[in-house]
Structures are given as structure tokens and as C-alpha cells.
Amino acid sequence: MAAPQTLANRLVDGFGREHTYLRISVTDRCNLRCTYCMPVEGLAWKKRQELLTFEEIERVAAIFIEMGVTKIRLTGGEPMVRKDLPLLIRGLGRMDGLKTLAMTTNATLLAGHVEDLYASGLSQLNISLDSFKPERFSAIARQDVKVFDAVMAGIDGALKQNFASVKINVVVMSGVNDDEILDFVEFAAKNRVNVRFIEYMPFKDNQWTNEKVVTYKDMLALIGEHYQLRKLEDDRSAVGKDYAIEGGIGTVSFISSMSDSFCSTCNRLRLTADGQVKSCLFYPAETNLRDAMRLGATDSTLQGMILDSLRMKPEAHPPAEEIAANDNRAMIEIGG
């Protein structure tokens, strides 16, 4: 059992930011190959023994919770391709001190499993969907068009379940799907859902160019011509700029990582599927907890390594062109 949170092990970085949110990638594998996430040439999947086991994930999660983490999100790759995922969700869901257990999924495998996930302790679900047009969805995801129906069935199931929140993540790319922004707003207006428009971010070999970024200000201006949006109160650590739609049921948000970064209030840390802690999504530095654990590191040694990783966290991420050129891993390998 790790030592409880003290002033010495609190997850506060050199810029006074307190970290309460851990994103855990449970696999680097995925059944889609989204153009903005996965390099064109594909990736060699990690071998099973390179990934953390559920026991190792739970041990690290418990240490982070002792240090002040209150929210965990499971992600990937596609988290639902990891065998027996509900077992992990149940294990994490039982941990004292954890207030929110969330997951981000592409929803291809969601339909039929929503109830089980909810019963296992999952409280929030984020689902990625970049187009309502099956052919376009298929071109972006580089998968058979039939998969689109499975995703929509998954979304439908999620909306019927009683999750604390269901969000739809849309990566907006100029000339690719920006003509559907209003369709997504309409979807939010009609359903109990938060649609999050995400600015296209650069990662290794992901076809990113500055011209393909649609800024949140441009999206707001377009939406403002057709809908009345009302800004919602800022949650200090939230990354989204959130808006209610006048007369609508759901809400829309903008994740402006490129045009107006939220680094100054960043409260997140990441654990990759192969057991590396990353203190910044866009910064290549990684701290290898997996090998330390397998060599017998104690919980307090692991806590020290986590704090070392936090000390390396930059004040803000580099400019976009620099990010695109550095040797950070691909999004799918890090965990979004």
C-alpha cells in the first residue's frame, strides 16, 4: 500500500499545477486506422508482455490515487479491444478516493456492452465520431463502411444508459469534415450529449498541416450564424470551452489545443499501455514505471519516479510546427 497523500508526494508541478486526472492507455492496438491518429504505414503492435497487466495497472492507479488523482480515463488505442476490460473497470471502480471513472472509445464494439460497462462502474463515456456520412467515416477511419452502423448503434446504446455524461469527440479537419459542424450541433441540440469539437493536433506522421486546422473561433462564428449559444461557467481545469444551445437538450464544447492552449490549467498525466508516465501529451519525455515495477521497485520508489516525471513537465507545449517535427510517439501509441 502506497503512503497516503502528503505535502511531499502531492502531484503539484513546478508551475503550481495540481494533477488530479490520469489517463490510462490499456492497449496500443486499434481496429480503426484514423488518418489523424495512426501513421499511414501502420504500426507494429506491442507484444502482450510489453503491456502492463491489469494487476500492474491497478497497482499504479492506486499509487496515483494515493497521490491525489480523483479521475481516471481509460483510453488507447481502442480500449475495448483489450480482452476482459470490464474486469479492470470493476477493479478500478472499487478504489477508494476515485470519484470518476471514464473511458474514450471509438464505439465499434460498444453496442451490446453498454449495460455491462455501466454496471462495472464506468461513469462517463466519450465516443469518437468524425462524420455522419458512412462513406466519409470509412475514409477517415480507413475501415469498411459497415463499421459505421456498429458505431451508431453503440452511440444509441450509450445515450439510453444512465451515464453521468456521454460526449462525442469530433476532430475537425478543414476540407475533410468541417462541412458537418452544423449537423453535429443539431445532434447535440436533439440529444442529452456534449459534442466536443477538437482542433486537429499534430503527431508523428499523421498528415497534419496548419491549413487543416479549423480554429474554435472560426467554428464559433459559423455556429453563431445558425444557433444561439450561451457560454457555460468555466471549470478551472476543464480543457473545453463549453456552451449551451438555446432551446436544445445537449451542449457543445471546443477543445482549442492549437489556437488557444489550456496548458496553464492542465491537470492531467498519462500512463501509456507499456507503462510509461508522460507528463505532457506533446513532450517526448517518458518515465518507465513498467521496468522499475518488474525489477521489484517499491511503491515509494514508484512515487518518486512519478514526481520526477512531473518535474519535467513543461510550462506549455511547444508551437505546433515544433510538435510536428519532434520525436514524440504517435497519438495511438500514447493514448489520447
Which parts of this chain interact with ligand SAM (CB under 6 A)?
A: 30, 36-37, 75-76, 78, 104-106, 128, 169, 171, 198, 200-201, 203, 206, 331-332, 336
Lay out the site mask for ligand SF4 across 30-49 (x = CB under 6 A, - = otherwise): x-xxx--xx-----------
List, as own/partner pairs, every contact residues 133-140 make where C-beta atoms lie below 8 angstroms and the sequence separation is at least 24, other chains included. Answer: 133/180, 136/176, 136/177, 140/34, 140/35, 140/36, 140/176, 140/177
Residue with cell 499509487: 63
Choose the one of ligand SAM, ligand SF4, none that binds residue 309, judging by a C-beta under 5 to 8 angstroms depending on kind. none
**Least Å from the CB of residue 20 to ligand SF4:** 24
Closest chain position to ligand SAM (CB): 336
Q: Are 267 and 17 in contact (CB under 8 A)?
A: yes
Choose the one of ligand SF4, ligand SAM, none that binds residue 98, judging by a C-beta under 5 to 8 angstroms depending on kind. none
Query: For ligand SAM, which is the closer residue by CB, 2 or 125?
Result: 125
Give the Cα separation of 272 and 333 in Å (integer).
Answer: 7
User: For ligand SF4, which residue of 78, 242, 286, 333 counts as binding (CB under 6 A)?
Assistant: 78
Q: Are 185 and 195 in contact (CB under 8 A)?
A: yes
Report if residue 177 touches ligand SF4, rule: CB under 6 A. no
Query: For ligand SAM, which is the closer residue by CB, 206 or 251?
Result: 206
For residue 307, which of 14, 74, 96 has the smallest C-alpha distance? 14
Tell me which DSSP letter residue 331 carries: H
Q: Are 335 and 104 in contact (CB under 8 A)?
A: no
Report if residue 117 touches ligand SF4, rule: CB under 6 A. no
**In this structure, what are the phi and psi dihedrals at residue 207, rounded to the nearest 5 degrees?**
65, 20
Query: For ligand SAM, which is the closer residue by CB, 2 or 188?
Result: 188
Report if residue 106 touches ligand SF4, rule: CB under 6 A. yes
**Least Å from the CB of residue 293 to ligand SF4:** 25
Give the Cα separation of 330 and 205 in Å (integer).
Answer: 8
Give the Cα separation of 142 and 149 in Å (integer).
Answer: 15
Residues that bind ligand SF4 (CB under 6 A): 30, 32-34, 37-38, 76-78, 106, 128, 332
